[in-house]
Amino acid sequence: MQDAILHSFVEYIQWFYLLYFIGLNATYGILGLISLFVLPRYIQKQIAQRLPHAETGFEPPISLIVTAYNEAPVIIPSTEALRQLDYREFEIVIVNDGSTDNMMELLTKKYDLEVFPAAIRESIDHEPIKAIYQSKKYSNIRVVDKENGGCKADASNAGINAAKYGLFMPLDADTILERDCLKLLIQPYLLNAETIAVGGSVRILNGCEVENGFLTKVGFPKNWYARFQVLEYGRAFLNGRVGWNFFDALPLISGAFGLFKKEAVVEVGGYSNTSLGEDMDLVLRLHRHFRLKKIPYRVDFVSDATCWTEVPYTYDILKKQRVRWQRGLFDCIWENKKLLFHPRSKGVGWGSMPFLLFMEGLSPFIELFGYFFFLISYYAGMVSFEGTVAFLFLSVASGFMISMSTVLLEELIFQTYPEKRDLHTMIACAFLENFGYGQINSVWRLEGTIKWILNTKKSWGMMARSAAWNKTATEEEGGVHAVIENTEKLDAPAEVSEETNG
């Protein structure tokens, strides 16, 4: 009798896992096929953008909001790079979120700042602004000096209030933008007046070369943590975002790279300064507000508008980031639970949010429990050796296939990494990430979920930056040349700054 119950239990678990893998592969497969269908057509149409004078002259002006906390090493080269962006009209609003380093002094000296009596409209709440400065050298540079708000969201909200134009782009001080990215991101706004937010692709800067704040050579990271993240970012942006965008169900625009309609963001109260995933939270709140109130709107994604950012390259920092992301994910889903399976929520509530909850949020439980269950069952003699191996093999094979589909998309559409050696490494990563990296990620995410359930104290974490691209900026006045590389070649991180102004 007991044997029969156990037998049924094991069989049910096996069925569950089989269906889970089928569901996982089917979802990624569908998203991948959509990307395969959508991206080539989109990229082909971009031939128009590559011809000279492609701008219509009717592109609306944009406010670039750079939130910065103790970013003295990178703030000047970053701002200088932003000044050189290829776009008709834009302003740069730097929000100094109560920095304790000499960032303000550097900005004042470089841009000849003077106090400006701006009548700031307090549309969104944030910590008090101490002063607003205007550059005497460049009319499109302003600095908002505010009290530290403890998170990036607070600084972004101050920037949104200070922004002069109807569209704004929140940026981190260390983000490297491609020169034409604004021209690409603006396209959905020109095509559809109902557009309220547009996201672009984020790629990994580790291993690349940067000069004067612009990317000069693309390289594959040498650090294995960063290498695996290349595939993760690829899965998220090439498979995920493109696929969900097709269903008009984009759940996330990266906090480092998106273009928002100010009026819409103010309407939903700006960024949440309590959520650890403020970027996803904002997009989901926009969906919730507009969709449930039946106001026509569009959240779009432009795959070839690209920014580059440095990713964690050490175990500790990567772990902190993943734990925080997982908590942020649950924060966002919980805050916007009204959207989940709501009759009016369409693709967001019936597609991308359940995907986030079950395939991203709960997957660490499922995966780790799976490993645990099959190994214990095998040692207990409840599952045969062949059965255990079959399911472990399936787990690795399906993970490999999903990653390979990302490599395929990357190669078919962008060929970002020109060296053949890099392609081979990427394929190797697609295979190797299933042996250790994937599992450790699940452990971190499980920790994040537990911390979210226990509601432990929130922390925005510390992000060690190699800041190598700033190294020669001090050596060659005005010139910035650097190779963003892994820790193996650096004695120690040159600078440690809060990742999100925390």
Partner 1 sequence: MAFAIDSNWVVDFAWILGIACTLASVSMILFVLWFRRYVDAENRHEKLVNDRWQETLFEIVSADESPDAENLPDDDFGAESYSGKFKNDFDDEVLQQIPEKDSPYFLYTWNYIHESLRGNAKDRLNAFAKSRGAKEKALKLLRSRFIKHRLLALNTLGNLGEKSTYDRISTFAAKRDPIVSVWAFRAMFRIRPRETLEKHLHLIAERADWSPAHVAKILKECDVDLISEGLAKLCNEYREKEISEKQFAYLVSYLRFAHQRDAEPILRKLISESSQMEVLISCLRLVRSEDSLPSIRKLLIDERWQLRMFSIMAIERFGHSYDIELLKRSLDDKNWWVRYYAAQALLRMPDMTTDDVKKLSVMVETDFERDILLQVLAEAEFRCKTQSSTAL
Nearer to partner 1, 101 or 411 (CB): 411
Min separation Cβ 169 and partner 1, Å: 19
Whole-angstrom distance, CA of residue 237 vs CA of residue 473: 32
- Residues 171-190 binding partner 1 (CB under 8 A) are 187, 190
Whole-angstrom distance, CA of residue 307 vs CA of residue 66: 14
Largest CA distance in the chain: 85
Whole-angstrom distance, CA of residue 326 vs CA of residue 351: 19
Both ends of the chain: CA-CA distance in Å? 57
User: Which listed residue (9, 11, 344, 375) binds partner 1 by CB under 8 A?
Assistant: 11
Stretch that binds partner 1, among 151-159, 203-211, 330-338, 415-423 (CB under 8 A): 415-423
- Residues 266-325 binding partner 1 (CB under 8 A) are none
Query: Does 438 contact partner 1 by CB under 8 A?
Result: no
User: Which listed residue (1, 5, 343, 420) binds partner 1 by CB under 8 A?
Assistant: 420
Min separation Cβ 382 and partner 1, Å: 6
Q: Are 296 and 180 in contact (CB under 8 A)?
A: no
Whole-angstrom distance, CA of residue 285 vs CA of residue 270: 9
- Residues 200-219 binding partner 1 (CB under 8 A) are none
Stretch that binds partner 1, among 49-57, 83-91, 216-224, 364-372 (CB under 8 A): 49-57
Transcribe 248-310 into DSSP letters. T------TTSEEEEHHHHHHTTS--SS-TTHHHHHHHHHHHHHHHTT---EEEEEEEEEEEE-
Sequence length of the chain is 502
Nearer to partner 1, 3 or 475 (CB): 3
Nearer to partner 1, 4 or 454 (CB): 4
User: Which listed residue (33, 397, 440, 453) binds partner 1 by CB under 8 A?
Assistant: 397
What does the per-residue mask of binding to partner 1 show for 98-137, with x meaning CB under 8 A?
A: ------------------xxxx-x-x----------x-x-
Min separation Cβ 448 and partner 1, Å: 28
Q: 400 is written with which tokens? A: 């490999």
Q: 13 is written with which tokens? A: 């678990």
Nearer to partner 1, 83 or 481 (CB): 83
Min separation Cβ 14 and partner 1, Å: 5
Stretch that binds partner 1, among 44-52, 91-99, 450-458, 465-473 (CB under 8 A): 44-52
The residue count for binding partner 1 (CB under 8 A) is 65
Query: Does 412 contact partner 1 by CB under 8 A?
Result: yes
For the four alpha carbons of 344, 348, 353 and 354, in that order, the dihedral sign comes to positive
User: Which listed residue (108, 140, 314, 398) binds partner 1 by CB under 8 A?
Assistant: 398
Q: Are 253 and 283 in contact (CB under 8 A)?
A: yes
Question: Taking the mean position of all CA atoms in its chain, how far away is CA 406?
Answer: 17
Min separation Cβ 310 and partner 1, Å: 27
Min separation Cβ 41 and partner 1, Å: 6
209-211 sheet: strands from edge to edge: 214-217, 209-211, 481-483
For the four alpha carbons of 63, 64, 67 and 71, in that order, the dihedral sign comes to negative
Element (DSSP H or E) covering residue 369: helix 363-379
Q: Residue 388: name the closest of 68, 41, 13, 4 by CA.
A: 13
Query: Does 58 contact partner 1 by CB under 8 A?
Result: yes
Query: Does 455 contact partner 1 by CB under 8 A?
Result: no
Whole-angstrom distance, CA of residue 465 vs CA of residue 468: 8
User: Which listed residue (34, 408, 462, 496) binds partner 1 by CB under 8 A?
Assistant: 408
Which position has the token pair 């008009």?
A: 248
Which position has the token pair 């009717």?
A: 58
Nearer to partner 1, 183 or 288 (CB): 183
Q: 60 is written with which tokens? A: 């609306």
Whole-angstrom distance, CA of residue 209 vs CA of residue 221: 11
- Residues 374-393 binding partner 1 (CB under 8 A) are 380-384, 386-387, 390-391, 393
Nearer to partner 1, 303 or 326 (CB): 303
Which position has the token pair 């045969």?
A: 384
Query: Does 5 contact partner 1 by CB under 8 A?
Result: no
Query: Does 404 contact partner 1 by CB under 8 A?
Result: yes
Query: Does 52 contact partner 1 by CB under 8 A?
Result: yes
- Using CB under 8 A, list all residues that contact partner 1: 3, 6-7, 10-11, 14-15, 17-18, 21-22, 25, 41, 44-45, 47-48, 50-53, 56-59, 116-119, 121, 123, 134, 136, 139, 187, 190-191, 193, 380-384, 386-387, 390-391, 393-394, 396-398, 400-401, 404-405, 407-408, 411-412, 415, 420, 423, 427, 430
